Structure 1
């Protein structure tokens, strides 16, 4: 996730707000099955239809995590086209979330942001992350 900085040196700070903002009224669906993260627009939209039973052009966000939980991709349909956003961890793993119907689970905004930032809301602790040394 990118961060804005006042100095313009390109280095993010932990206190800066995330650049990824969640539009009001959007649902966030997490695919509970591990996903081949090499998939992109067409492959992920096919998974949304077949595995999640949702319409990929609905405007909702669809989140996919690989088997090792070190990479995450988000598929969204915005203003006439698909968007894919991805994050790969240099250290640590994304939290394992369960529940839902076995294929998908709705995430609230807090759960989604916690997942990206390494906060495990089940055990209420921050997961290990790579830290840039100045």
Structure 2
């Protein structure tokens, strides 16, 4: 379900370690107070524990929260650890993360903006 999640307009990840013992209320409070984002928006928020083999997702579905939990049987997520903040992912970065890749791919083509023929 998480690998092909398409219901959200945006996806944010909490960089660094998150205590995965937190439930819906704890994660929603973290989103609202620490990251100053709206947990009731059409946004998927992802959190990763210290071992990097499990993640939790928090998503508001009009009448209540959905708490998603995934544990990998082998391998680990390539989760950004250097920052203690939230980061918005592009759809491509989300796919990379779910496929076990880093969200920053140095060899990937970057989107170009501000181009002109003159």
Pick the TM interval, shorter chain.
0.7 to 0.9
The 5 Å alignment of 1:2-81 reads 20-23=4-7, 26-81=9-64
2:74 is the alignment partner of 1:91: yes
Q: After TM superposition, which residue ranges in structure 1, 4 or more long, deviate above 3 angstroms? A: 121-124
Question: TM-score w.r.t. structure 2 length?
Answer: 0.76
Q: Secondary structure at the match of 1:68?
A: coil
Structure 1 unaligned residues grouped into runs of 5+: 3-17, 125-134
* Number of equivalent positions: 106
1:98 Cα deviation after fit: 6.0
- Larger relative CO (CA 8 A, sep 6+): 1 or 2? 2
Q: Distance in 1 between matches of 2:13 and 2:103?
A: 15
Q: Is contact 2:49–2:55 with CA below 8 Å preserved after alignment?
A: yes
Say which of 98, 103, 108 aligns to 1:116: 98
1:113 Cα deviation after fit: 2.0
Q: Is contact 2:12–2:46 with CA below 8 Å preserved after alignment?
A: yes
Residue of structure 1 equivalent to 2:89: 107
Question: TM-score w.r.t. structure 1 length?
Answer: 0.68
Residue of structure 2 equivalent to 1:5: none
Structure 2 unaligned residues grouped into runs of 5+: 107-118
